């Protein structure tokens, strides 16, 4: 059992990807299939928060604004300027990364609640711009007629899955790279990191830029999936939900980010049969998960199987 668990743990991203790849083969009703696609799309923005919060220790509650930037950039380019969807799909995250870099500049001097308020302000500024710039964004009526990069839903699912897998692998490798170690040093103690030769400003800016790029990519996928954009899809509540997914996944755990994104995205739909009371039950379930998240962590599970493995080894050794 211990060897099996070690194998799964060492290849957890491959295991998750393979299990998800079976979903179109098995066959899932179209709406449930869409929810899984949305869960994977959310996983990208949660991984962006893993880099920013889990690795670098910079808390953001404005990622819904960055998601909106990527989504509306893609939508406006495709609808208003007839840009090829694939080209728009590449431009959207790059433009969002530039916005994120501007957001990263205040982080040089702001920390804690002051930085959080700044990120909230960014999210609200983006939402208000979308609401009031009606000629370009459609305002409160939304932006319609957005062409998807791939019309076939199954191929779109596999494209998103491949993107999520490669982002996950890259993020996991980033954590043990020179850049990742610099991020973690900043998270632990900015002053100590600077004394040790880490260029704190440069790495903070890099963390915000990478995180914003991924948020923009997630936004472009969202626009491609839905075909319609509305300001109500990018509120402060959405930013808080992304943060919740990050915390539930383990802050710096990439596999945890994927699983929590899928779970939290699906949970309201699973409880839909409860009609008006579903959001109350949804909140209670989330509170229970947060309360017992430490007991459900991968570290605890690893220790459990390790104990079982040691007992098995002792029994075998005693028998010999």
Question: What would the pLDDT profile of 50-101 be if each residue is shown by its tens digit?
Answer: 999 999 998 888 999 999 999 999 999 999 999 999 999 999 999 999 988 8
CA angle 107, 233, 257 (to 5 degrees): 60
List of residues 6+ apart from 97 with CB closer than 8 A: 209, 210, 212, 213, 216
Q: Which CATH number is correct for 2-19+31-270, 1.10.3470, 1.20.1740, 1.20.58, 2.60.40? A: 1.10.3470
Tell me if 41 sits within 8 A of 262, measured CB to CB: no
Rounded Cα distance between 200 and 28, Å, is 47
Tokens found for residue 140: 């409160």
By the 10 Å C-beta count (0-12 exposed, 13-18 middle, 19+ buried), 9 is classed as: middle
Name the pTM for this structure: 0.87
| Residue 287 CA: distances (Å) to CA of 152, 171, 252, 257 | 38, 28, 20, 18
Mean pLDDT of 299-306: 47
pLDDT digits (tens, 9 = 90+) for 160-207: 999 999 999 999 999 999 999 999 999 998 889 988 888 988 999 999
- Mean pLDDT of all residues in the chain? 85
Rounded Cα distance between 203 and 165, Å, is 24
Domain positions in the chain are: 2-19+31-270
Most confident of 5-19, 238-252, 260-274: 238-252
Rounded Cα distance between 278 and 267, Å, is 10
């Amino acid at each position: 059992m211990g060897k099996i668990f070690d194998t799964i743990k060492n290849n957890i991203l491959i295991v998750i990807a393979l299990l998800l790849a079976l979903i179109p083969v098995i066959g899932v009703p179209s709406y449930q299939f869409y929810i899984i696609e949305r869960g994977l799309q959310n996983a990208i923005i949660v991984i962006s928060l893993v880099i920013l919060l889990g690795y670098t220790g910079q808390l953001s509650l404005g990622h819904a604004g960055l998601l909106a930037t990527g989504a509306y950039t893609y939508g406006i380019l495709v609808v208003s300027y007839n840009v090829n969807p694939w080209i728009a799909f590449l431009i959207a995250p790059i433009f969002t990364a530039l916005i994120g870099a501007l957001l990263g500049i205040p982080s040089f001097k702001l920390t804690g609640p002051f930085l959080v308020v700044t990120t909230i302000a960014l999210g609200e500024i983006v939402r208000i711009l979308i609401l009031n710039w009606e000629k370009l964004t459609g305002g409160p009526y939304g932006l319609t007629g957005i062409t998807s990069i791939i019309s076939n839903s199954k191929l779109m699912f596999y494209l998103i899955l491949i993107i999520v897998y490669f982002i996950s692998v890259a993020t996991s490798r980033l954590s043990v790279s020179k850049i990742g170690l610099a991020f973690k040093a900043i998270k632990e103690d900015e002053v100590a990191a600077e004394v040790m030769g880490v260029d704190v400003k440069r790495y903070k800016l890099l963390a915000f830029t990478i995180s914003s790029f991924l948020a923009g990519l997630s936004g472009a996928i969202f626009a491609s999936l839905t075909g319609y954009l509305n300001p109500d899809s990018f509120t402060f509540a959405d930013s808080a939900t992304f943060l919740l997914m990050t915390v539930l996944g383990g802050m710096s755990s990439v596999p945890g980010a994927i699983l929590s994104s899928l779970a939290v995205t699906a949970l309201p739909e699973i409880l839909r049969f409860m009609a008006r009371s579903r959001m109350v039950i949804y909140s209670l379930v989330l509170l229970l998960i947060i309360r017992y998240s430490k007991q459900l962590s991968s570290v605890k599970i690893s220790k459990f199987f390790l104990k079982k493995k040691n007992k098995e080894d002792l029994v075998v050794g005693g028998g010999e």
